[in-house]
């Protein structure tokens, strides 16, 4: 929200947050996370629903704990994510491990901790059967249905590295039968930014058709991919409509299958994206023959999505919400072309102003780096109007600590 004091986040002005915690700064509004969780849970209230938070979107332990308190489990994609979740006190039975192209040793290490493995490779499936026999596992299917969004976030097409192709099911069944494997879940994820409920239903029907050959199922996992609005007039997935249509189809399937199963989702972006802001200070205003650049103390090293996915993030002048607008191209301080937003209409800015980049709660800090030897920013969570530091600002000492043989004050 905004008022005459500038942008307010969870009851705190952007200026007050930067004055307290510094710039650049990631800020998350906890009430938005709660809103998104309950919205999805309510949309699927007719079925036995389980939500697993895709922690790759934002792996801060305060976010993990908050979502687990709300009722979410964890979708993890590396042994390090699994160990992070376990260290947060999240039980192994609340974690699903869905790796891709990792070593089998990594899989063994995770499964031996009691975490359910979701297998997306025939070779891994066979090795798992040989080693564990009838130990429960799940299988990730590639339904060859294309989701929405940028090509890099589509994971259900025929050229994707994710999942076992539906055309390889006969091979899968031979392995399952040979090792008497207990397949407790079928999984798919067609990609992100899916708008049409029909895409989910079409992919669901693929899994329903396959499910009849797996008598031990406990759940069917539809991944996620819900689109959130990035632009002021953007469209988003109608999860309420999806809940009605998919729940009805799922209940019909359960009746056909002969018993009630759980319906799982693995939302990440949907739960945390809209809660997040990247606050960054204007360092310079640079006029060129073609445009006016607003240089900032952030950049692609702290928000990669605009350069990686050509993603749009709304940018506003957090100091003043009304006034004369100018056209700016907002860029970072990295020695690369690191455009955060081109040709944006912002209320006229001055050097030292705070800009707020919206929808930065997912794949923002999680994809940040120390490129150009610039430390990563702090993270703050706001709950009930109180701002809490949930990650301190990184320092150069933190970066150099892993390198060794560093002599302070000695030029080399």
Q: Is 83 exposed, middle or buried (0-12, 13-18, 19+ CB in 10 A)?
A: middle
- 335 catalytic residue (yes or no): yes
Contact status, residue 356 vs residue 316, Cβ threshold 8 Å: yes
Residue 183 backbone dihedrals phi, psi, to 5 degrees: -90, 110
Contact status, residue 7 vs residue 14, Cβ threshold 8 Å: yes
Residue 293 backbone dihedrals phi, psi, to 5 degrees: -95, 135
Chain centroid to Cα 349, Å, comes to 31
Q: Would you state the torsion angle of the CA atoms of residues 247, 250, 256, 262, taken in this order, to the nearest 10 degrees? A: -110
Residue of 88, 291, 333, 335 marked catalytic: 335
Q: Strand pairing of 6-9 and 12-13?
A: antiparallel
Residues carrying an active site annotation: 335
């Amino acid at each position: 929200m905004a008022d005459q004091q500038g942008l307010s986040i969870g009851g705190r002005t952007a200026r007050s947050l930067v004055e307290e915690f510094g710039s650049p700064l990631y800020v998350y509004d906890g009430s938005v996370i709660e809103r998104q969780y309950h919205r999805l849970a309510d949309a699927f209230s007719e079925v036995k629903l389980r939500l697993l938070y895709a922690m790759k979107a934002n792996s801060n332990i305060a976010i993990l704990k908050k979502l687990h308190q709300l009722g979410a489990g964890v979708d993890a994609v590396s042994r390090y994510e699994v160990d992070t979740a376990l260290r947060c006190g999240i039980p192994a039975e609340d974690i699903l491990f869905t790796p891709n192209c990792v070593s089998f040793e990594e899989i063994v290490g995770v499964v031996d901790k009691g975490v359910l493995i979701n297998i997306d490779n025939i070779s891994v499936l066979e090795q798992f059967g040989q080693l564990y026999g009838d130990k429960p596992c799940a299988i990730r299917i590639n339904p060859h249905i294309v989701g929405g969004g940028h090509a890099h976030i589509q994971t259900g097409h025929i050229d994707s590295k994710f999942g076992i192709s539906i055309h390889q099911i006969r091979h899968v069944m031979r392995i399952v039968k040979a090792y008497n494997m207990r397949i407790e879940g079928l999984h798919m994820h067609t990609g992100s930014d899916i708008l049409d409920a029909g895409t989910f239903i079409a992919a669901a029907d693929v899994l329903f058709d396959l499910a009849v050959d797996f008598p031990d199922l406990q759940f069917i996992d539809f991944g996620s991919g819900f689109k959130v609005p990035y632009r002021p007039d953007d469209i988003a997935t109608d999860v309420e409509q999806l809940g009605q249509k998919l729940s009805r189809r799922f209940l019909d399937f359960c009746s056909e299958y002969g018993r009630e199963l759980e319906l799982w989702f693995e939302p990440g972006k949907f739960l945390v994206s809209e809660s997040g802001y990247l606050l960054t200070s204007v360092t310079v205003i640079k006029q060129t023959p073609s445009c006016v650049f607003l240089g900032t103390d952030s950049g692609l090293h702290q928000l990669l999505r605009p350069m990686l996915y050509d993603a749009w993030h709304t940018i506003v002048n957090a100091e003043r919400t009304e006034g004369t607008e100018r056209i700016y191209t907002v860029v970072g301080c990295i020695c690369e072309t690191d455009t955060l937003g081109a040709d944006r209409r912002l209320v006229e800015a001055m050097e030292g102003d705070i800009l707020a980049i919206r929808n930065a709660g997912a794949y923002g800090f999680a994809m940040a780096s120390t490129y150009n030897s610039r430390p990563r920013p702090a993270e703050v969570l706001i709950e009930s109007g109180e701002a809490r530091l949930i990650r301190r600002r990184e320092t150069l000492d933190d970066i150099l600590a892993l390198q060794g043989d560093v002599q302070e004050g000695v030029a080399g």
